[in-house]
Chain A
Amino acid sequence: MNDMTHKGLGLATQTAKISASGVQVHYGTNHALKDVDVTILDRTVTAFIGPSGCGKSTFLRCLNRMNDTVASCRVSGQILLEGEDIYDRRVDPVQLRAKVGMVFQKPNPFPKSIYDNVAYGPKIHGMTRNKAELDAIVEASLRKAALWGEVKDRLDATGTGLSGGQQQRLCIARAIATSPEVLLMDEPCSALDPIATAQVEELIDELRHQFSVVIVTHSMQQAARVSQKTAFFHLGNLVEFGETGDIFTNPKDPRTEAYITGRIG
């Protein structure tokens, strides 16, 4: 998958994957997101940080139209995935979500076997012709999620029986099994202990080589550790967006500085 562009890992080859401009989100009468412009690059980890309720998760959920499932939610503005407006009338969210996968805050494996959890996406999207292909996808995904070694002997065991960190890596494997182009992660480590968190963070760093990863996080340290780009949200506004190093060492906006130094949060 996209292996030909994979040689140098140089940042110079990065192109814009998603570009959002003028995005507004309303929940009923609540104006949750105000005029957000963000460009998300290919093969980059972009972190969204900000205090609770700042709109960072809302924006993340706009990127694969998960907000469609909330009846009172209205989205306006433009979000382009490789130049195509994902809120266009012709776009089927089902196809979109196959390209833009998502990992959730709390590990949510289905009450099925580990194998069936990973095979679920490829099956519904009709990605394989036979069992062998499916087996290959499952194995590859579990390997990429750094879980293969731990579960290869018990693929038939139920996914809910794994530890928290394993469950979350299983959910990541499940998400990458459909070979998405963008992987959205909504606070993927908030329900995990420090060791599991470290494993998942390491994994995110690996995934950067193949996917464009967007991660919402509460922890500034995490953002600094895993991301190349950081966006700071506050009260529904995108306050600052830039290189992670710049944001943390040299914030331009006083609000960003206040947040980073712990005065607002």
Chain B
Amino acid sequence: MTDISAAGAVPATKPKNSLFVQDDLTRRRNAAETRFKYYGIVAIVLSLSVLAVMLFTIFRDGTSAFRQASVAFPITLEAEILDPKGARDPADLAKVTTIGYGNLIGQQFANFLIAEGIAVEGISDKDISGMISRDAPGRLRDMVLADPSLIGQTIDFNAYATGRIDGYMKGRVTLETAELDRNVSLEQLQLADKLIAAGILTSGFNTGFLTNPDASDQRPESAGLGVAIIGSLYMMMLVLIFTLPVGVAASIYLEEFAPKNRLTDLIEVNISNLAAVPSIVFGILGLAIFINFAGLPQSSSLVGALVISLMTLPTIIIATRAAIRAVPPSIRDAALGVGASKMQTVFHHVLPLAMPGILTGTILGLASALGETAPLLLIGMVAFVTNYPSGPFDGGVLDPATALPVQVYSWASRSDPAFIERSSGAIIVLLAFLVIMNVAAILLRRRFERRW
């Protein structure tokens, strides 16, 4: 069969040469091989270093949010200012506004500095009282209204320093930047130095960052994540309640019962397409259906949870179906073989065996839901909320709330650099939650991993 005459037409091939000698072409080919391999290494190094840079900048900018400068000084709650009538009548006490308290704090702080012998040349009283957060009068007033017996006493008061003084202690504000900044004066910074030396101005762990509600542009020092954490928590609870049963039910149907027909096909196509619909489209859906049509309250965790549930459902269904499919058919055959109904087989055998996989998938789905931002902007969760929502059983899910990632966004869009620090700090909190959820999922998978 071999056509030897045709073989003669083959041009002379390369001359015989030793295997020990690489010819030019081989050398070039090997160089290309090495280059190609390095492209891959470069790609990996590049992506991992970007990840490292991103995490580094966030931690560099954000860790300082967990520390906060505060001023401690004694304050005498003078009765003639706070309760001019002297009757301790709550209605009278409530008539004194935060302005009154503000004046009291400013005055007392100035007096305290004189008594301590701390002075800076040319500093005005306004500058001195301006070092204390505008949040302090409100807090002091709440303290007094809650316990009128404090009036007339001298208490140790611990007030936040303003964002600029705080920034000065963290190195964000320097003497050079202060010169260009009309929110802080050089005298204030000099005074701050002396207060630090005297141990009056100190920096400590910032519990308020985790518990306080959001605060207005003028007082970044008292802005915290309290409402956002509660909002995110409510939403995750509701998302879990909505998606887990529905997702499991849908997966069981599609995996175990669904006949091969048009409807099933339609559902399958729908699920895979929904998983790829941009998240903002779900926000539009939420706005149109849940808020405008169904009349649910804007900015509430309930609407947020509904929107995010619809978004997360396809992910959870896909993960759950994979877990159900991983249960080998022999288990089903065994159960059906002893006379169990199809439904009993699924609920007694398949579902318990698939449960670890389902839970892992659900936790991972929740983790990605926790970081979702765009749809929440559209349903009003970006609103400025300073009141904590009520308890979950007192309709708290209907109260306005924000969410962690939304708080990141709204702080990032404010001009004061102190809010960028808070924004990065909020990311650290968010990432901490995500790490916890992912670790939980990994542990769950390790613990129950089964090889069939």
Contact = CB atoms under 8 A, between A and B. Distances in A.
Q: Quick check: do A and B touch in the complex, using CB within 8 A?
A: yes
Interface of A: 1, 3, 81, 84, 86, 88, 90-92, 94-96, 99, 124-128, 133, 136-137, 139-140, 143-144, 146, 148, 179, 202-203, 206-207, 209-210
A99 B1 CA distance: 24
B51 interface: no
B2 A92 contact: no
Residue among B13, B22, B30 facing the most chain A CB atoms (10 A cut-off) = B13
B23 A128 contact: no
Contact of B18 (A3, A84, A94, A210): A84
Given A1-B7, A127-B13, A133-B11, A95 B2 contact: no
B1 A125 contact: no
5 contacts: A84-B20, A92-B19, A96-B19, A143-B6, A210-B7
B9 A95 contact: no
B110 to A, nearest CB: 76
Interface of B: 1-3, 6-11, 13-14, 18-23, 25-26, 29-30
B6 A95 contact: no
Contacts of B26: 92, 94-95
A81 B17 CA distance: 12
B377 to A, nearest CB: 47
Residue among B2, B3, B14 facing the most chain A CB atoms (10 A cut-off) = B2
Contacts, number: 70
A86 B20 CA distance: 9
Contacts of B6: 139-140, 143-144
B3 A88 contact: no
B2 A206 contact: yes
Contacts of A86: 19
A140 B1 contact: no
A203 B2 CA distance: 8
Contact of A99 (B19, B21, B25, B30): B19
Contacts of A125: 25
Residue among A90, A137, A140 facing the most chain B CB atoms (10 A cut-off) = A140
B19 A91 contact: yes
Contact of B2 (A96, A99, A124, A144): A144
A205 B105 CA distance: 106
Nearest to B1: A146
Contacts of B3: 140, 143-144, 148
A207 B4 CA distance: 11
Given A140-B7, A179-B10, 14 more contacts: A84-B20, A88-B19, A91-B19, A92-B30, A94-B30, A125-B25, A127-B14, A137-B10, A139-B6, A140-B6, A140-B9, A143-B7, A206-B2, A210-B7
